[in-house]
Amino acid sequence: MKKNIENIFLFLFTIIISALAAYFYQIETIRIAGIIIIVTAGCGSVWFEIGKSSQEGSFLFDNEAHFERFMVVYLIALLGSVAFPMLPAGGWPYLVIFVGLMLFSNQMIGISAGSVLLMISVMLQGSDASTFFIYFIGGLVGITVFSYVDKSFKIWLPLLVSLSVQMVCLSIQEVLLVNEVLHIYMFLIPAVNILVCLILLMILLKYFSFSIIYGSRNIYMDINDPECPLLVELKTFSKEEYYRAVHTAYLCDRIAKRLNLDDAVVKACGYYHRIGIIRGENNWENVSAILQEYKFPMEVQTILKEYIDKNETILSKETAVLLFCDTVISSISYLFSQNAQADMDYQKIITAIFKKKLESGMIDYSRLSFGELQEMKKILVEEKLYYDFLR
């Protein structure tokens, strides 16, 4: 409901601002009407993409839970889009706008919203279609290369590629699309544009790292603490379930690091995959309610939904890791509960677990490669000494 209200606000505000800007630029009435119609259609597309992404859970990082960040970036970009027509057509920093909108939503929303704002600038200035496509291609490349930025925050290659393509596109516009004699001053505006884009991208990425990268790290430090209030509540409810969670989280963390997965996310899933038990049954309804109440990151919610909800198919590597770690811990714990002094053949037990899970088809659609599967099995077998803690 709240997001629908926010979408309506963005929708109406975009139309109103673009209409007022058209009036300010003294555009004739019939063209103002055309701008309003086209902007309305474009905003409808953005609205649809936001709704679709919410249903599919395809927002990047935790953007769905913090939609206000996208709104801030969008509103700043909207104000820029109606001011850019006062600048030369080669001086618009749309690379920053496309990348910013994508980082705080996802790729499709970034492309849709960026295109609508670019369209507003082009129509207000009365530029031709070539201006739109020059900036659209630059923005598209920017979104593509920055889509690979993850929590390791390696930004220099995406910066180099996106700024280089932007420079080439703007230079093409100046050299090929402007009927003037070639001279060095033709590259002055593109060069200034690149410098401005570099400065603005650094500011944007600083805000991105502060709000998402480091923000999420702080969240995981809290929820991955064994003394976290929610885990303390689980321990009070059932020590057996608590220690099962602790042991599962340990194995998840070990495997995630070896497979180059996000170990903080996988470890959190190990801790909280049985948290629904404190409200009766460990079904997805109970787990989901707890995760939302405590505002868990979307990555954790997505993985646990795959693992717990019987209607879901295991697709991610992280969910497959959780499946094997939980099964190994629960199986060995059960055997020790029958005979605490038993001499266990851990390799045989783990081999049997892997064979059973593979034959069941539970991970047929997961993204785990055969090599990663064998590496995970190797790690679990290596933890022989650790399993003695389960006695």
CA separation for the pair 192, 196 (Å, rounded): 6
Are 306 and 57 in contact by the 8 Å Cβ rule? The answer is no
Count CB neighbours of 216 within 10 A. Answer: 19
Position 16 in a domain: yes
Q: Are residues 249 and 196 in the same domain?
A: no
Q: Which secondary structure element, helix H or strand E, spans residue 38, and what is its range?
A: helix 29-56
Q: Residue 339's domain spans which residues?
A: 226-390
Q: Write the CATH number for 270.
A: 1.10.3210
The torsion region of residue 92 among left (phi > 0), alpha (psi -120 to 50) and beta comes to: beta
Domain boundary among 166, 181, 216: 216
- Contact present, 182 and 172 (Cβ < 8 Å): no
Last residue of a domain, one of 196, 216, 236: 216
Q: Are residues 205 and 247 in the same domain?
A: no
Co-location of 274 and 184 in the same domain = no
User: What are the backbone angles phi and psi of residue 127, rounded to the nearest 5°?
Assistant: -75, 165
Question: Is 326 a domain residue?
Answer: yes
- Where does a domain end: 216, 251, 266? 216
Same domain, 130 and 207: yes
Say how far apart CA 192 and CA 186 lie, in whole Å: 11
Do 211 and 171 share a domain, yes or no? Answer: yes
Model confidence, pTM = 0.72
Angle at 77 between CA 74 and CA 82, to 5 degrees: 130
Structure tokens at 249: 């989280």
Counting other chains too, the contacts that 194-202 makes at CB distance below 8 Å and 24 or more residues apart are 194/163, 194/166, 194/167, 194/170, 196/91, 196/93, 197/93, 197/95, 197/96, 197/163, 197/166, 198/159, 198/163, 200/93, 200/96, 201/95, 201/96, 201/99, 201/159, 201/162, 201/163
391 residues of the chain, pLDDT tens digit each: 556 787 888 899 999 999 999 999 999 999 999 999 999 999 999 999 998 988 887 888 878 878 888 999 999 999 999 999 999 888 899 999 999 999 999 999 999 999 999 999 999 999 888 889 999 999 999 999 998 877 666 788 899 999 999 998 888 776 665 555 556 667 788 889 999 999 999 999 988 887 776 666 678 888 999 889 999 999 999 999 999 999 999 999 999 999 999 899 999 999 999 999 999 899 999 999 999 898 888 889 999 999 999 889 999 999 999 999 999 999 999 999 888 888 889 999 999 999 999 999 999 889 899 999 999 999 999 998 888 888 7
What does the alpha-carbon distance between residue 241 and residue 275 come to, in Å, rounded to a whole number? 9
